[in-house]
Amino acid sequence: MPLYLAMDFGGTKLACGLTESANGMIHSHIRRASPSNAIDSMLLMLAMAREAIGGRDALSISGVGISFGGPVDERRERARLSHHVPGWEDYPLVDEVVRALGLPTVMDNDANLQCLGEWRYGAGQGTKDMLYVNVGTGIGGGLILGGQLRRGAHGLAGEVGHTVVDPNGPVCTCGKRGCVESLAAGPAIARSAREFLASRPQDGSWLVADVGGDPSKITAEAVFRCAAEGDSLCRLVVARAARYLGIGIANAAALVDPELIVVGGGVAKAGPLLFIPLVGAAKEQAAPLDPEMLSIVPGSLLDDANILGAVALAEQEFGG
Question: How far does Cα 299 stand from its chain's mean position?
Answer: 11
What end-to-end distance do the CA atoms of the chain give, in Å?
A: 13
- Any idea what DSSP says for residue 310? H
Give the pLDDT confidence score for residue 320 in this predicted structure. Answer: 60
Residues in the chain: 320
Spatial distance between the Cα atoms of 183 and 286, rounded to a whole number of angstroms: 20
Average pLDDT over residues 70-91: 91
Domains of the chain (ranges plus CATH)? 3-116+303-318 (3.30.420.40), 126-299 (3.30.420.40)
Give the pLDDT confidence score for residue 137 in this predicted structure. Answer: 84
For the ranges 127-136, 174-183, 226-235, the lowest mean pLDDT is seen at: 226-235
Spatial distance between the Cα atoms of 137 and 64, rounded to a whole number of angstroms: 26
Give the pLDDT confidence score for residue 1 in this predicted structure. Answer: 74
Question: For 259-296, what is each residue's pLDDT tens digit?
Answer: 999 999 877 778 888 999 999 999 999 988 889 889 99
Bridge partners of 65, per DSSP, are 6, 106
Average pLDDT over residues 35-58: 94
Question: For 217-257, what is each residue's pLDDT tens digit?
Answer: 999 999 999 999 888 899 999 999 999 999 999 999 999 99
Using CA of residue 255, residue 172, residue 37, residue 92, what is the dihedral sign? positive
Structure pTM? 0.91
Mean pLDDT of all residues belonging to the chain: 92
Residue 203 above 80 pLDDT?
Answer: no
Give the pLDDT confidence score for residue 263 in this predicted structure. Answer: 96
Q: Looking at 151-265, which runs of residues are DSSP E strands?
A: 260-264
Residue 165 above 80 pLDDT?
Answer: yes
Give the pLDDT confidence score for residue 139 in this predicted structure. Answer: 92
